[in-house]
Amino acid sequence: MMVGTTSARPGNGVELGSGIPIEKLAYRVVEAAYALAISRSRVYELIGSGDIKILKDGGRTLIRRSELEAYLLRLEQVSQAAERGPPRRPNRP
């Protein structure tokens, strides 16, 4: 494989000639959508609502890997809170 070439699926790391994978630090919108298993339009909705922050590099929109991980963590916390249900009020005598 040539230096700096990427594998066929979006969201994968870059692989050096030695076959050592390099994890991406930022993703383009389509790659972020693939990594999160959601649609590209949903990524744009999350960007618009401020749930995912972006970086601009000229005309490119980049999303940090850490931003995607933080979004998933927040999503997990909301899901867990919903499973527990609303907080219970103490019984009054």
**Quick check: 81 pLDDT over 90?**
no
CA distance 93 to 86: 21
Phi, psi (degrees; rounded to nearest 5) at 12: -80, 160
Element holding 71 (H helix, E strand): helix 65-84
- Res 56 pLDDT > 60: yes
pLDDT (tens digit per residue) in 37-54: 999 999 999 999 999 999
> What's the Cα-to-Cα distance from 17 to each of 3, 12, 22, 48, 59, rounded to whole Å?
5, 15, 11, 38, 29
For residue 2, what pLDDT band results from cuts at 50, 70 and 90? very low
